[in-house]
Chains A and B, each alone.
Chain A
Amino acid sequence: MARKDIDYSKYLRLEYIPHIWCPGCGHGSIMKSIIRAVDELNLDKDKTVLVSGIGCSSRIVGYMDFNTLHTTHGRALAFATGIKLARPELNVIVASGDGDATAIGGNHFIHACRRNIDITLIVFNNFIYGMTGGQYSPTTPVGSYASTSPYGNIDPSFNICRLAEAAGATYVARANVYSIAQADNFIKKGIQNKGFSVIEVITHCPTYYGRKNKLKTPADNLRWQKEVSVSIHRAKKMTPEELEGKIITGEFVNKSEEEYTEKYERLIIEKAQGKI
């Protein structure tokens, strides 16, 4: 497979590399995927803003050489919405953990989906709160262990893509770190979509989730991802019983609807200025 040579360093603040993520943490692989997507799209670094909240995944803004904003836990989408409304010409990308996006930031998440504002959200789903020591998150699978579920988690988990779809996001896809090249493509299409895009990337926290769930090495975590993943095409031919415990990867939504800042310009700004 011939792949184009890429200068990753062009998009990095090299003085902060090597990054702080643990050995084998999937977050680094997702950062590289974002770089490949942005490079293929030839995005102007100075017209691109990367926003994050708090968490291991959110530390990505320290490493990437865009305009970056490291905000508060769960609130990255609120800051990003402000940036996009003030400067609609900018490419706005948000990086978030599963906790950041769907626990403390769950409300911001559904409302950003509902508005269809032109922001691309990349959720680094490692099924756990990595930064604070492995507490369970809204995506922790039932039966999995976390520092706050020593007897196994009993809370049903959120399906981030289905949540995004139900709330109105216009591009929704899921990939995993094992097949990370697929994420490049989804991130690219998410950025190209004029509207709210959610790309969930299944990743791993070998340090907490892995250690507590018999996935000792980073490679064990990747093999687990490979085992449980089913493509959307194959999933269509499977029964609900067969799909139990599986994670479906692929594109779930790709549609076109009026984007929020354009609607705002058309219906609010022009009215306020007495043009209509």
Chain B
Amino acid sequence: MMAETKEKKHEIVIIEKNCKGCEICVEFCPTNTLGMHMGKCVVVDLDKCIGCKMCEIRCPDFAIFVDNPYAENFKKNK
């Protein structure tokens, strides 16, 4: 896992309009990749991300996606 991280950065997409700032992703990220800024989730240090997708799976709001090619679909609606 660690070796893989060094080779390739993971892609985290945050859909700001969907994020309700519940902090679930931040609190349970095993690597402290995420943080909060102005009530929304933000990536603090992408290098730390191991791509476990736990943030994506737990987020109740379709607001964070990791290495997910379909994340952009959530930017389309108003």
CA–CA, A8 and B56, complex, Å: 11
B27 at the interface (CB under 8 A from A): yes
Task: From B17, B58, B70, give the contact of A6 (CB < 8 A).
Answer: B70
Q: Are B57 and A218 in contact (CB under 8 A)?
A: no
> A25 contacts which of B21, B58, B60 (Cβ < 8 Å)?
B60
Cross-chain contact A23 with B73 (CB below 8 angstroms): no
Within 8 A of B (CB), among A1-38: 1, 3, 5-10, 12, 14-15, 17-19, 21-29, 31-32
List chain B residues, Cβ under 8 A from A14.
73-74, 76-77
- Contact yes or no, A7 B27, CB < 8 A: no
Q: How far is the CA of A153 from the CA of B74 in the complex (A)?
A: 42
- Point out the residues of chain A lying under 8 angstroms from B77, CB to CB: 14-15, 17
* A19 to B77 alpha-carbon distance, docked (Å): 13
- Give the tally of cross-chain contacts (CB within 8 A): 83
B61 contacts which chain A residues (CB < 8 A)? 18-19, 28
Shortest CB–CB separation between residue B38 and chain A, in angstroms?
A: 14
- Which of B17, B20, B58, B78 is close to A23, meaning CB atoms less than 8 Å apart? B20
**Do B24 and A1 touch across chains, with their CB atoms under 8 A apart?**
no
Q: Does A217 contact B (CB under 8 A)?
A: yes
Which residues from chain B sit less than 8 Å from chain A, CB to CB? 17-18, 20-24, 27-28, 52-53, 57-63, 67-70, 73-74, 76-78
Q: List 13 A-B contacts (CB under 8 A).
A: A1-B53, A9-B62, A9-B70, A14-B76, A18-B18, A24-B22, A28-B59, A28-B62, A29-B60, A180-B57, A206-B22, A217-B23, A219-B27
Contacts A18-B17, A18-B18 supplied; 10 other A-B pairs, CB < 8 Å? A3-B53, A5-B67, A5-B69, A7-B70, A8-B70, A19-B61, A26-B60, A28-B62, A177-B58, A181-B57
| Chain A residues proximal to chain B, CB less than 8 Å | 1, 3, 5-10, 12, 14-15, 17-19, 21-29, 31-32, 177, 180-181, 206, 217-219, 222
